[in-house]
């Protein structure tokens, strides 16, 4: 009796630990109960009522590695009968018993000779089954064995129920903590990139998930924006189209998906190797689909509906934060974007130019700045009107945009002045690129329509170039020197290109072709 009390003290201690581990409680129960009778194999199966299955949670003895974590239908086998009838049973000749489920022996190579099965019941509710197989001395289980295990099983069921309740409470505390942290730490973040990275990490760390990914919906695709994992795991895909896998299905239906066994799911498309369970939760505001939270586990049946409900609540908070960050992003972009042309404006240039040039310096890169001014633009305004002039500025900007690939930034600096910043372009390449822009702008007339009909305008422009670091390493000086070179063209016939050479002398392109 004293030994039994001591054994349950260990179980109670595990239940009352700061962070309960339900598997540890189950292991303690089985370690102690297996001492009552010498059997070749012991199993503790828990009931998963929602999925109508019995799960081998703890297996002691032969084939333990093969069986642990496996599932069997709750209405099959001797244990299924025990669950249905809430009664203990002894089976002395299993292969002659129609209740016996032969598939496990067939799959594992184990030979079952006799069975002792006892239900775990607390307050009339069945939790699972304890099963002993093949008595070591070769005899059959008897009523004395049954009584001994039943007495222990009654206490074990209470301990298991209490452990489940404590774990449920601990999980609820974690869930509430996460929602509180989302409200406190995330909803106030206005930088979208920071928001998504911090959210991903917070969700993954709070729940100790295998991995968490957050993707945003852009151009009918999900683009991965944040990823956090428990181990050295990297995402396989960063872009997913509509209809591809679980994420693609959520994009179409805007409803969450929980996959508890990937091997049985036709829509499952493996991204990260070894994932057995996955849930994808939409991030949305009413009918506005914003993105997804993707969570995976290497364990089957890793997620509960309660857990998905909590993550869904988190997704609602995240949706608000994402919308706020996007709105803030739009406002910031509007503040540095020219309404007429869609290029960046002078505010962007004044604010960002120092950072861009400093980045070139830190990364050991070269760069160039082109200053462009449309020739005789005032004549166009005077000959027609300012509306025609504005339309022309817009059309000129469209041609400039045609050649703005990666590493090039277009700016309308003011009036009829444009700036182009070019990363990884030393002077010679900058001159070639400026020739291309000059020809593109003046190669064909611009057709502008108004109430009086169509107007065709021919445009020519003057260009000045200054390069980093050959001429200067100072951002404002780079801008000033390019502007100075452009005005030199204006003073010497217009419709040309001038550049600052390495001696900071201005050279007209048609005067010296070898910079």
The order of strands in the sheet holding 408-414 is 408-414, 417-423, 367-374, 461-468, 497-500, 506-508
Catalogue the E-assigned strands of 298-407: 367-374
Q: pLDDT tens digits, residue range 329-344? A: 888 888 889 999 999 9
Question: What does the DSSP 8-state code read for residue 303?
Answer: -
Q: Which two tokens stand for residue 188?
A: 């106030």
Say what the pLDDT of residue 28 is: 81
CA atoms within 13 A on the CB side of 458: 4
* 319-325 average pLDDT score: 90
Average model confidence (pLDDT) across the chain: 87
3 state SS for 468-504? ECCCCCCHHHHHHHHHHHHHHHHHCCCCCEEEECCCC
Say what the pLDDT of residue 451 is: 64
Q: pLDDT tens digits, residue range 370-393? A: 999 999 999 988 888 888 889 999
Is the pLDDT at 513 greater than 60, yes or no? no
Tokens 């002792």 — which residue? 116
Q: Which domains does the chain possess? A: 2-169 (3.30.450.40), 188-329 (3.30.450.40), 346-508 (3.30.70.270)
Name the residue with higher pLDDT: 506 or 304: 506
Residue 430 CA to residue 403 CA, distance in Å, equals 13
Say what the pLDDT of residue 348 is: 93
Beta bridge pairs of residue 239: 223
Q: pLDDT tens digits, residue range 53-62? A: 898 988 998 7
Q: pLDDT tens digits, residue range 207-233? A: 889 999 999 999 899 999 999 998 788
Q: pLDDT tens digits, residue range 125-146? A: 899 899 999 999 999 999 999 9
Residue 419 CA to residue 404 CA, distance in Å, equals 12
Say what the pLDDT of residue 169 is: 75
CA distances 56 to 8, 25, 59, 101, 238, Å, are: 22, 15, 7, 14, 36
Q: Which two tokens stand for residue 100?
A: 């016996």
Tokens 């019995």 — which residue? 54
- Smallest CA-to-CA distance from 296 within 320, 266, 269 is with 269
Say what the pLDDT of residue 411 is: 95
Share of the chain above pLDDT 70, in %: 94
Name the residue with higher pLDDT: 174 or 125: 125
Say what the pLDDT of residue 515 is: 39
Beta bridge pairs of residue 133: 41, 115
Beta-carbon contacts of 366 under 8 Å, excluding residues fewer than 6 positions away, are: 360, 424, 425, 426, 467, 468, 469, 470
- Smallest CA-to-CA distance from 48 within 112, 126, 124, 113 is with 126
């Amino acid at each position: 009796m004293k030994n039994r009390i001591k054994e349950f003290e260990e179980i109670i201690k595990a239940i009352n630990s700061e962070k309960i581990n339900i598997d540890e409680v189950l292991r303690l129960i089985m370690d102690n109960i297996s001492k009552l009778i010498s059997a070749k194999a012991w199993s503790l199966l828990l009931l998963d009522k929602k999925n109508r299955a019995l799960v081998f949670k703890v297996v002691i003895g032969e084939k333990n590695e093969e069986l642990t974590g496996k599932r069997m239908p709750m209405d099959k086998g001797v244990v299924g009968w025990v669950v249905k009838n809430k009664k203990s049973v002894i089976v002395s000749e299993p292969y002659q018993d129609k209740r016996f489920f032969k598939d496990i022996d067939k799959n594992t190579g184990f030979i079952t000779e006799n069975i002792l099965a006892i239900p775990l019941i607390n307050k009339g509710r069945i939790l699972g089954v304890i099963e002993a197989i093949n008595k070591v001395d070769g005899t059959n289980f008897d009523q004395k064995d049954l009584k001994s295990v039943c007495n222990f099983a009654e206490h074990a069921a209470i301990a298991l129920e209490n452990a489940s309740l404590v774990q449920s409470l601990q999980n609820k505390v974690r869930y509430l903590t996460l929602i509180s942290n989302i409200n406190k730490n995330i909803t106030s973040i206005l930088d979208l990139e920071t928001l998504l990275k911090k959210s991903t990490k917070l969700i993954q760390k709070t729940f100790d998930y295998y991995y968490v990914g957050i993707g945003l919906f852009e151009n009918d695709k999900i683009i991965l924006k944040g990823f956090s994992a428990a181990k050295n795991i990297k995402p396989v895909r960063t872009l997913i189209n509509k209809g591809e896998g679980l994420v693609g299905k959520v994009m179409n239906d805007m409803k969450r998906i929980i996959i508890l066994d990937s091997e049985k799911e036709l829509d499952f498309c493996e991204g990260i190797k070894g994932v057995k369970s996955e849930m994808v939760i939409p991030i949305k505001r009413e009918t506005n689909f914003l993105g997804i939270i993707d969570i995976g586990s290497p364990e089957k049946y890793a997620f509960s509906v309660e857990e998905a409900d909590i993550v869904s609540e988190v997704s609602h908070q995240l949706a608000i934060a994402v919308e706020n960050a996007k709105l803030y992003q739009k406002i910031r972009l509007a503040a540095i974007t020219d309404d007429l042309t869609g290029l960046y404006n002078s505010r962007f240039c004044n604010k960002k130019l120092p950072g861009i040039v400093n980045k070139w310096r830190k990364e050991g890169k070269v760069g160039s700045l082109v200053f462009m001014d449309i020739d005789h633009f005032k004549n166009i305004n005077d000959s027609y009107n300012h509306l025609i002039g504005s339309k022309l500025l817009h059309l000129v900007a469209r041609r400039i945009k045609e050649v703005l690939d990666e590493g090039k930034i277009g700016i309308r600096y003011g009036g009829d002045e444009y700036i182009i910043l070019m990363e990884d372009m030393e002077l010679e390449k900058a001159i070639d690129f400026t020739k291309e822009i000059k020809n593109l702008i003046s190669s064909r007339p611009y057709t502008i329509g108004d109430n009086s009909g169509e107007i065709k305008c021919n445009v020519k422009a003057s260009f000045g170039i200054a390069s980093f670091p050959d001429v200067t390493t100072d951002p404002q000086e780079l801008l000033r020197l390019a502007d100075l070179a452009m005005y030199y063209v204006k003073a010497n016939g217009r419709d040309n290109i001038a550049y600052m050479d390495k001696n900071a002398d201005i050279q007209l392109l048609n005067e010296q072709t070898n910079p």
